[in-house]
């Protein structure tokens, strides 16, 4: 669930794993500088799959839910592959798909552990 006010938020921060809109540039800047924005990262040899919270709507206000997360592959035959998502859970699923595409083995999650 994405939490927002009656206004169009310009910036986004995370409350746990939930994006929250803000129009306060200072709050956003502090969050972006200090917060853990990494959703997941896996590496094998020279290939890296990285999924992060972007903090800005990459749907550019196009009339849908804000697009706030991104997965990219760096290196290997799928270098520069990119997908974007609206929620943390979508980003986690997209990261798993990219890992399969890049053939980067993901460590099995233990119960209660975060990636």
Higher pLDDT, 9 or 66: 66
39, pLDDT greater than 60 = yes
82, pLDDT greater than 70 = yes
The parent domain of residue 91 ranges over 37-102
pTM metric for this prediction: 0.81
Domain membership flag for residue 12? no
Domain membership flag for residue 73? yes
The mean pLDDT value of the chain amounts to 86
Closest CA relative to residue 69, chosen from 44, 94, 99: 94
Other C-beta atoms within 10 Å of 69: how many? 26
Contact of 38 with 44, CB cutoff 8 Å: no
Instruction: Determine the pLDDT at residue 9.
Output: 73
57, pLDDT greater than 80 = yes
Assign 115 a pLDDT band (cuts: 50, 70, 90). very low
Domain membership flag for residue 3? no
Q: How many domains does the chain have?
A: 1
């Amino acid at each position: 669930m994405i939490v927002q006010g009656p206004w169009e938020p310009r910036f986004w921060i995370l409350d746990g794993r939930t994006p929250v809109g803000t129009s306060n540039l200072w709050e956003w800047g502090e969050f972006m500088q200090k917060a853990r924005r990494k959703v997941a990262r896996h590496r094998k040899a020279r290939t890296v799959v990285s999924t992060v919270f972007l903090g800005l709507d990459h749907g550019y206000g196009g009339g849908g839910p804000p697009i706030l997360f991104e997965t990219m592959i760096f290196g290997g035959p799928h270098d520069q592959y990119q997908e974007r998502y609206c929620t943390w859970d979508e980003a986690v699923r997209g990261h798993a798909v990219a890992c399969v595409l890049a053939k980067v083995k993901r460590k099995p999650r233990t119960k209660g552990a975060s990636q």
